[in-house]
Structures are given as C-alpha cells and as structure tokens.
Chain A
Amino acid sequence: MTALMEAPVLAPAPPDRRYARQRRLAWIGKHSIAIVLGIMFVTPVVYLVLLSLMTSDQALTSDYWPNAWHPENYVRVFEVTPLPRYLLNTIIYAVSSTVLVLLSSVPAAYALAKLRFRGRNGLFLLVICVMMLPPQVVTVPLYLMWARYGLTGSLAPLIIPAIFGDAFCIFLLRQFLLTIPSEYLDAARVDGCGEWRTLLRVVLPMARPGIAAAGLFQFFYCWNDYYGPLLYTSENESSWTLSLGLASFHSVHHVDWNLVTAATVLAMAPLIIIFFFAQRAFVQGITLTGFKG
C-alpha cells in the first residue's frame, strides 16, 4: 500500500544500481496495479456495450457474449427517438447551467474562504444545509412557484437557478480555495489590488484545477440529471433532454434491453470524450504551481 500512497514527486536518483532497480520495480508495481484496477473498472461498461450489440431476445438472458453482432441497434435508436433534438436541449441545459453556476459560485466561495466578515460561519453552514433537504421534499413548493410564472414545460426552471449559484459547487470551491495559502492574497492586497482583482488575477489561475473539477461536475450532473427535466419538461416533448428521452425509451422498449443499453452508450459517449480532453486541465495545475514530475 505504501507504493500507492507515495507522494507525487520522485527523489533525484542517486547513482546507485540497487536504487535504480528498486525504482524500476516500483514502476512496474504501480502500473500493474493500475492495469488490474482498470480492468475492474471497465468490465461492467464493456458488459453494457456487449448487451447493446445483442438481439433483444438474447439481451434478456444472462449471457454476456453476443451470439451474433448487431451494431444496427445503434441505428435503430436514431430511428425511434428524436435523439438530435434531445441532444441539443441537453447541451443548452448543461452548458448554460455550468457557465452560470461557476460565474456565481466562484465569488461566493472566495468570500466564504478568504474574506473576513460577520456571520461568515453561519452563512457557510446555511450553504451546507441547502444540500441536506431531500430533493423530493422541496419539489412541490418549487414546482408551484415555476408554474405560477408559466415556465414549466421549458428548460428555464432548470437553468435560471444556476444564476444564483449551487450549494455543492460553492462548498467544493470554498474547500479548494482554503488550500491556497493566504500569503499570496495578502501580497496582492499590499500591492493595492482590490478584492475583485485579487480574485481574478491571483486566485483564479491558482484554483484552476479545482474550478475545472467543479465545472465538469456541474456539466456531467446536468447531462445525466433525470429528476429535474422529468419534473419541469415532461409535459412538452420539444424540451426533453437525453436522460428523459432515454427513460421514456426505457418504458416503451423495456423488452428491447439491447436498444436501451445502446441508447445509454450513445448518451455516455460525448462525456467520455469531453472528460478525456478536460482531464488535462488538472495536469495544467501542475505546471502552474511549479509541480515537478
């Protein structure tokens, strides 16, 4: 286990053969663990993909290898659902909500982490409390509120709340900003930076990995959100998102388990690609904070 926990910096190698061998063994050890874990992580996803390539009859059995391959299941999904429209709605919801949430949550998190004012702890606790109410409980009053403004049936009730920040995101960002030493900020203030400038010029670049993580989170949450779209857009199919489309697909085609998994894989695919490229943002944090390795 110690190999797992080793700090992410390698000691400069002394000119010692035994040491070099140890390092090579450690290298092999770490990569072997990664490969074994990787297989464990990937297996159920592969199983879903295999299911999506079976006939609907075979998909109902507990076989895990298709007797014959049916890639045309993926084409069928496009034939029976307006997938492009769902996709567009999902992108509108996820992108605008992520941008708005970050714009409103970053300053709030900064204030809660680095500014001193009366009632700060109380306010922080209030932010945490927001996450504690079970979603089903706040549903009825909030739905009635949106209905009063005639906004149900559209994406507005999903996007507008993002203007006012998200408790989870504020909490996450605050905890990240706490890891930034206050000396950096004090230096900027001594140089005459106002708080907003300190945030933009000093804090934002240093907090990039944290902000990237929070942004990804919000984006992926919206992409897979089922409860919200079900509540507010189900009456109007032109506002449906992917998750809702998939679920309705689910209930109509619940025997065609192969099609359901094919649709699930299709909904996941863009996220996998986005994540593969976005994860570089975390690595960039390395160079920004002068990380070696």
Chain B
Amino acid sequence: MTAKPLGVRVRKGATTFSFLAPALIGIAVFFLYPLGSAVYFSFTKFDLLSVPEWVGLDNYRRMADDPFLLQSVRNTLWMVVVFVPVRIIGAVGLSMLLTQLKRGAGFFRTVFYLPALVPPVAATIAFVYLLKPGTGPVNHFLESIGIQGPLWFNSPTWAKPSLVLLGLWAIGDLMVIFLAAVLGVPASLYEAAELDGANAWQRFRSITLPTIQPVVLFAAVTGVIYTLQYFDQAAVAGSIASGQATVGGGISSNFGFPEGSTFTYPLWLYTVGFRYSALGYANALAIGLFVVALGVTLILLRRAKAFTGEES
C-alpha cells in the first residue's frame, strides 16, 4: 500500500474519532476516574467516616492468609466453570429450537423469555419455595414418578447446582442475543451447504457456529464477568433456605448457607466492605477480582483470535 497524503489521513482520523468520542469520554469519567480512586483506597485503611490512612500493601498481604477468601474463591470458581458453559449451550440450543418452530414461535419466544423479566430477588424466592425439600411442588412431582428428590438449596452438594438451575431458568437474555445472531446468518450459506449434502449437525457445526462465533465470545466474556460478580441470588437463596429471613425480608447474616457452599467472592467483598466497614480491604478484594477477570478475558480473546483468525 502506498502512503496516503496527510490531508486524507487527518480526515480519516477525524471521522474515526467522531465515532468514538462519546465512548472515550464515558470511559474516562465513569471508569478510569473511579478505578483510580479504588486503587488508591486499596492502599489505605478506610471506614467511610474517618480520613483514609495510607497502609501500603497491608490489604494485599492480608488476602494471602484469609480463610474466607479461599472458600469464596473455590465456590466462585465452581460457578464459573459450570455455569458459564452450561448457560451458553442452553441459550444456543434454545435459540436453535426457536428457529425450528413453525407454529407459535412468537408465543414460545415470549414464554422462554418470561423468567428473565422476573426481578432476581423475586425469582430466587419463588425457586427456593418450589424446590423446598419436604413440601415443595417439584419434589412432590418427582416423588409421584418414583424419584427421591434432593435437598436442593438445603444440601451443600446441591445448593450450587440449584443456583445454576435458577440461572438457566432466567436464560432469556442470552437466548435473545443468540436468536438475533442465528437469524442473521445469510441463507445463501445454508443453501450452498445443502447442495453439498451437509446434514443438520454439519450445517450447525460448519456454518451457524463459525458465523455466530463473535457472539459466543461475547457470551463467554460477559458470562465470566457476571459470574465473578454473582451476588443477589446467592445472598437471597442462602438466607431464605436457612430459614433466617422471613419471606421478602432482608439479607440474613447467614451468607453461604448451607455450610458455606454458596459463599461467593462478591458476598465476602460485601461483608468486608459494608458489614465490617473495612473499605480499604474491600477495595483490595475488588482490585483482585478485577485483575483476575482481566486475565481470564485476555485468555479468552486470545484463544478466539487463534481459532477464527479474527481480524486484528
């Protein structure tokens, strides 16, 4: 390529900048500025009332031997490893099913989306009641077909899978995204593949999946970020299943019920920051979370590039 004259380059740069200007301002004001404050606070002892006191790396050293941190990290990792792929597979499967329906497609789209509209707190409460081990309708139903239902939110082994189930039920958001992506795949590609005698699975593997790959990457990255910040459902499910909070009441002190099995990293961050008022340490925890999320995202993006040769 020959070098373009300066005037053209400047004009091109100005056009590009005009597309990006609002986002750049947004990033500076609503991200870089608060991030800077968070980093600063993470080096201090700070309780919101008195002036922050500089303590250097103390908060970060404290993270090294914090048993609650270790437990919450384990639970959060479990959620990331199980929840993120299950959610993506479920949402892709559901959107593919929807494109197949000849009758009532609009109706089913709405039905599958419905749970995503229930506020998370209300949805969690409904789920805990439906899955009550002794009296809940789900275990009643399982019993009637001869299956001994698990203890769900009251069992340390089943509590996290129950949360995954709750998340799957509210999968509508992701389903909508994949539906829009799948419907955007050019029909000519399928026609060509059919002429070559590709069966349904082959067409999905070699046309649908590669075309929607950028959207799958989106789902993976946002899924990881979402799971790392997973809070509401874990907090509400734990406190209601433990019987400490009455229905609709606030969050009990029983985070992570039963036996700490639903105690996630954000729950610990919240406890430290807003119950112990140790905002310095909470900010150190948040920066740690941020760094881990960034690392995972970088790995995902790099792999995706290697796989698809996405233009860089």
Q: Do A and B come from one complex?
A: yes
Which residues of A are at the interface with B, using a C-beta cutoff of 8 A?
A: 1-9, 11, 27, 30-31, 33-34, 37-38, 40-45, 47-48, 51, 59-60, 62, 64, 104-105, 107-108, 110-112, 115, 117, 121, 123, 125-138, 140-142, 145, 161, 163-168, 170-172, 174-176, 178-181, 194-196, 206, 209-210, 212-213, 216-217, 220, 224, 226, 243, 246, 250-251, 254-255, 257, 260-261, 264, 267-268, 271-272, 275-276, 279-280, 282-283, 285-286, 289-293
Closest to B198 in A: A7
Q: Which residues of B contact A1 (CB under 8 A)?
A: 93
A145 to B31, CA, bound (A): 13
Contacts A62-B135, A213-B176, A254-B247; is A111 near B200 (CB within 8 Å)? no
Asked whether B248 lies within 8 Å of A136 as measured between CB atoms, the reply is no
Q: Provide the B193-221 mask, 1 if CB < 8 A to any CB of A, else 0.
A: 11000001101100110011011011001
Q: Provide the B216-236 mask, 1 if CB < 8 A to any CB of A, else 0.
A: 011001100100110000000
Given contacts A43-B130, A111-B19, 18 further A-B contacts (CB under 8 A): A2-B200, A7-B203, A8-B182, A9-B187, A31-B104, A38-B108, A38-B111, A62-B135, A130-B27, A132-B290, A141-B38, A142-B30, A165-B23, A174-B214, A175-B214, A179-B214, A194-B15, A271-B117
Q: Which residues of A contact B248 (CB under 8 A)?
A: 250, 254, 257, 260
User: Which 10 A-B residue pairings sit nearest by Cβ, starting from the closest?
Assistant: A164-B26, A8-B99, A6-B200, A138-B34, A209-B180, A7-B203, A111-B19, A108-B23, A175-B214, A178-B214
Q: Which residues of A contact B290 (CB under 8 A)?
A: 129, 132-134
A214 to B191, CA, bound (A): 29
Contacts A115-B16, A131-B225, A141-B33; is A104 near B23 (CB within 8 Å)? yes
State how many angstroms separate the Cβ of B308 from the closest Cβ of chain A.
9
Q: Which residues of B contact A138 (CB under 8 A)?
A: 30-31, 34-35, 38
Asked whether B204 lies within 8 Å of A132 as measured between CB atoms, the reply is no
A217 to B184, CA, bound (A): 18
A9 to B182, CA, bound (A): 11
List 6 A–B pairs whose Cβ atoms lie within 8 Å, in order of A's numbering.
Answer: A2-B200, A30-B101, A34-B98, A62-B132, A220-B117, A268-B118
User: How many residues on B have C-beta within 8 angstroms of the other chain's C-beta atoms?
Assistant: 115
Counting CB contacts under 8 A, is B177 at the interface?
A: yes
State how many angstroms separate the Cβ of A62 from the closest Cβ of chain B.
5
Within 8 A of A (CB), among B162-196: 169, 173, 176-177, 179-188, 190-191, 193-194
A interface majority secondary structure: helix
Asked whether B23 lies within 8 Å of A170 as measured between CB atoms, the reply is yes
Which residues of B are at the interface with A, using a C-beta cutoff of 8 A?
A: 12-13, 15-16, 18-20, 22-27, 29-31, 33-35, 37-38, 48, 93-94, 96-106, 108-119, 122-123, 126-127, 129-130, 132, 135-137, 169, 173, 176-177, 179-188, 190-191, 193-194, 200-201, 203-204, 207-208, 211-212, 214-215, 217-218, 221-222, 225, 228-229, 246-250, 266, 269-270, 273-274, 279, 282-283, 286, 289-290, 293-294, 297-298, 301, 310, 312
Q: Which residues of A contact B111 (CB under 8 A)?
A: 38, 41-42
Asked whether B179 lies within 8 Å of A282 as measured between CB atoms, the reply is yes
Asked whether B123 lies within 8 Å of A44 as measured between CB atoms, the reply is yes
Residue with the highest number of chain B CB atoms closer than 10 Å, among A30, A44, A108, A141: A44
Closest to A106 in B: B19
Q: Which residues of B contact A3 (CB under 8 A)?
A: 100, 200
Q: Which residues of A contact B173 (CB under 8 A)?
A: 217, 220
Asked whether A176 lies within 8 Å of B180 as measured between CB atoms, the reply is yes
Asked whether A44 lies within 8 Å of B126 as measured between CB atoms, the reply is yes
Q: Which residues of B contact A217 (CB under 8 A)?
A: 173, 176-177
A196 to B227, CA, bound (A): 37
Contacts A41-B114, A142-B34; is A117 near B13 (CB within 8 Å)? yes
State how many angstroms separate the Cβ of B75 from the closest Cβ of chain A.
16
B interface majority secondary structure: helix
State how many angstroms separate the Cβ of B294 from the closest Cβ of chain A.
6
Asked whether A175 lies within 8 Å of B218 as measured between CB atoms, the reply is yes
Closest to A107 in B: B19
Closest to A261 in B: B122
A181 to B311, CA, bound (A): 12
Asked whether B118 lies within 8 Å of A137 as measured between CB atoms, the reply is no
A165 to B30, CA, bound (A): 11
Residue with the highest number of chain A CB atoms closer than 10 Å, among B97, B104, B190: B97
Contacts A134-B266, A213-B177, A279-B109; is A7 near B19 (CB within 8 Å)? no
A264 to B125, CA, bound (A): 12
Asked whether A4 lies within 8 Å of B97 as measured between CB atoms, the reply is yes
Asked whether A213 lies within 8 Å of B180 as measured between CB atoms, the reply is yes
Closest to B211 in A: A179
Asked whether A5 lies within 8 Å of B99 as measured between CB atoms, the reply is no
Contact partner, A163, options B22, B100, B103, B274, Cβ 8 Å = B22
State how many angstroms separate the Cβ of A128 from the closest Cβ of chain B.
6
Closest to A126 in B: B27
Contacts A5-B96, A108-B19, A254-B246; is A171 near B25 (CB within 8 Å)? no
Contacts A31-B103, A171-B218; is A5 near B93 (CB within 8 Å)? yes
A226 to B232, CA, bound (A): 11
Residue with the highest number of chain B CB atoms closer than 10 Å, among A40, A42, A132, A271: A132
State how many angstroms separate the Cβ of A34 from the closest Cβ of chain B.
5
Q: Which residues of B contact A165 (CB under 8 A)?
A: 22-23, 26
Q: Which residues of A contact B184 (CB under 8 A)?
A: 176, 179-180, 206, 209-210, 285, 289
Asked whether B108 lies within 8 Å of A34 as measured between CB atoms, the reply is yes
